[in-house]
Amino acid sequence: MKIQLRDEEREYEVGVTAYDIAKSISEGLARVAVCGKINGELVDLAMPIEKDCKLDIITNKDLEAKEVLRHSTAHVLAQAVKSIYPNAKLSIGPATDDGYYYDFEFKTPINNDDLAKIEAEMKKIIKADFEIKRKVVSRQEALDWAKSEGEIYKIELVNAIPEDETVTMYTQGDFTDVCRGPHLRSTGMIKAFKLTKLAGAYWRGDEKNKMLTRIYGVVFDKNSEMEEYFKMLEEAEKRDHRKLGKELDLFFLSDYAPGMPFFMPKGQTVINELINFWREEHKRAGYVEITTPMAMNRKLWEKSGHWDHYKKNMYTFKAENEPFAIKPMNCPGGMLYYKERMHSYKEFPLRVGELGKVHRHEASGTLHGLFRVRCFTQDDAHIFMTKDQIESEIANIISLVDRMYKVFGLEYHLELSTMPDKHIGTVKEWQHAETCLKNALVGIGKDFVINEGDGAFYGPKIDIHIKDAIGRTWQCGTIQLDMQLPKRFELEYVAADGSRQEPIMVHRVVYGSLERFFGVITEHFAGVYPLWLAPVQAIVMNVSEKSEAYAEKVYKELGKAGIRAELDIRAEKIGYKIRAAQMQKIPYMIIVGENEANNGTISIRKRGNIEIKDLKTKDLVKEMKNLIDSRALEC
């Protein structure tokens, strides 16, 4: 049979494994191989190949390898738990974005002190280097095993496997689990791991079900990588936006409105600056801005499809016996704006932006500061265009994203998600849309990763992942081609030949959620915002009562110049005032004493303990205004 490898095509006997093929290429490749990828699907290295296919050998340099490593380590965790606590019941143990977890039902509850004991058992299993064996079984065989072991959750999971799907079981040493896989070849391939915490988790995420114990862990290819990870976590804890939000008087959350943040004056100042920047850049890029209602009739949400597919996450109410919903998305309102009058191809691309407040009911257990909320502002835009404008418009959006993210010092990478199994529209339409997105990215010289089958059901998308100061990535911006709403709302435009055609529509956000982006940049800057974004840009402090009047004069001059300043004329020592200002991360501390008052000058201390004496207020204002107007990253 013929096997298409990355660089060549080779012939092999039927039944050869990915591991055999890796070994035939080089011993070095076989040593670092983690799994195979046959026609886009990950498989175990030991799985026999029965027919012609395209094969990639996945090594630890590939992103897919991390998922296999994490999931295999979750199985080692489950084996260790069953060894120490034979009566524990197995549930699920998936890989996550940064590690893995496994959910158990324990007869006697465990606590964090027990994690060291479980880790020690895991190390024994890894040292034993058990081969991880895959076996295809019938549904009945899997059920018989689960019943004989008393694994009640596995019985439910096996019964939920679709009839047309293969049932597989994996065994390592004396431990067996029903699992789709794939896995590592043996437990000895796991090098550096740690269990991190315990949490409660309802079976299948339903609060009506039993609460299970979730054990979280991380795993890496090297100990050095694990050390770097925990250093990053330590730094992330210092930068936690919830902690900084409290310390810097930025925002708060109340039990009276879970998941709905309150912004204090300083936090609102940052939000306003983000909005001002957004408006400036969008005006420059040719967008118009609209506002659509916060709540609209159920009929609209039925037309858009949200009532059928998203109702459980929507806040609904009745007005004069008519059912309404508070909007979870801005899109349907944008469709009504477009339909208000007929449009011509000469208006295209028509770029329509909206800073729209949306509400979504998220489970209370998932709420997390500003990162997961129930009420937030999306910087939406809906762009209407012809088919031949798709590539150039995608390039324009990326250019806008590029300009905006650079101001915050944020790097990013792009991921293109293609047609999922369940989708609307023809394959031909999808191929055209995907080609347009790819061509646009290639045309502007942007590298990107393809996520096969991960597009929205209504169209392919480009997700924009930003990287912050400590290396974490956040998915904020996204660009989505919508092949559903224009049809549902019967949108039309007058084409060049006078006919009426359906426009192409793109959804896109740059910040994503204004509140979440606020949280991201707060952690990115560790609360040390650049001058243009700082809630308080300068503070004037007097050394003694004799310089109080002069301090007030300087403060007023700054205010007249448009500088956001505070005045500290408390009867405290100057060292105390300086420390208080440093705690608030204020960029400029202006210190005036008798000498400054007599000479009509000021002394300043910038963040980073840079001191300048005998400066004129007007010169400081000029320096600050230059930095603010240019939105410079430095103080």
**Catalytic pick among 380, 468, 482, 568:** 380
Q: What is the pLDDT of residue 104?
A: 97
DSSP assignment of 411-466 equals EEEEEEE---SS-SS-HHHHHHHHHHHHHHHHHTT--EEEETT-SBTTB-EEEEEE
Is 461 catalytic? The answer is yes
Q: What is the pLDDT of residue 635?
A: 63
**Catalytic pick among 179, 331, 375, 476:** 331
Q: What is the pLDDT of residue 164?
A: 83
Q: What is the pLDDT of residue 366?
A: 85
Domain 64-221 is found in CATH 2.60.40.420:
no
Q: Which CATH class is domain 246-292+327-524?
A: alpha beta
Q: Are 45 and 35 in contact (CB under 8 A)?
A: yes
Is 360 catalytic? The answer is yes
Question: DSSP 3-state assignment of 22?
Answer: helix
d(CA 635, CA 620): 12
Is 382 catalytic? The answer is yes
Which two tokens mark 385? 């265009």
- Other beta carbons within 10 angstroms of residue 311's beta carbon come to 15
Sheet holding 411-417, edge to edge: 287-289, 350-359, 375-385, 504-513, 473-482, 461-467, 411-417, 448-451
Q: Are 110 and 213 in contact (CB under 8 A)?
A: yes
**Catalytic pick among 378, 480, 484, 537:** 378
Q: Are 412 and 466 in contact (CB under 8 A)?
A: yes
Q: What is the 3-state secondary structure (H, E, C) of 349-398?
A: CEEEEEEEEEECCCCHHHCECCCECCEEEEEEEEEEECHHHHHHHHHHHH
User: Quick one: 159 exposed, middle or buried, by C-beta within 10 A (0-12, 13-18, 19+)?
Assistant: exposed
* pLDDT tens digits along 251-303: 999 999 999 999 999 999 999 999 999 999 999 999 999 999 999 999 999 99
* pLDDT tens digits along 328-350: 999 999 999 999 999 999 999 99
**Catalytic pick among 507, 516, 585, 605:** 507
Q: Which CATH architecture has domain 2-59?
A: Roll (3.10)
DSSP assignment of 198-265 equals EEEEEGGG-TTSPEEEEEEEEEESSHHHHHHHHHHHHHHHHH-HHHHHHHTT-EE--TTSTT--EE-H
Question: DSSP 3-state assignment of 319?
Answer: strand
d(CA 585, CA 522): 12
Is 380 catalytic? The answer is yes
d(CA 474, CA 464): 8
**Catalytic pick among 75, 351, 461, 585:** 461
Q: Nearest Cα to 461, choosing from 490, 495, 430?
A: 430
Strand partners, 588: 538, 606
**Catalytic pick among 89, 239, 360, 564:** 360
| C-alpha neighbours within 13 Å on the C-beta side of residue 609 | 2
Q: Give mean pLDDT in consecutive 10-residue pieces for the chain, a chain of 635 residues.
A: 88 92 91 92 92 92 92 98 97 93 95 95 97 94 95 95 90 95 95 95 89 96 93 92 96 95 97 98 97 96 87 92 94 96 97 96 89 95 94 92 95 91 81 88 87 82 90 90 88 96 95 95 95 97 95 97 96 95 96 94 89 92 96 85
For 538-629, CATH number?
Answer: 3.40.50.800
Question: DSSP 3-state assignment of 509?
Answer: strand
What are the DSSP E strand ranges found in 78-160? 89-90, 100-105, 133-137
Task: Using alpha carbons, list the distances in angstroms from residue 126 to 134, 170, 192, 409, 495.
Answer: 18, 16, 10, 42, 66
Domain ranges, ordered by start, for the chain: 2-59, 64-221, 246-292+327-524, 538-629
d(CA 470, CA 411): 12
Is 556 catalytic? The answer is no
Is 331 catalytic? The answer is yes
Please provide the size of the chain in residues. Answer: 635
Q: pTM higher than 0.85 for the full model?
A: no
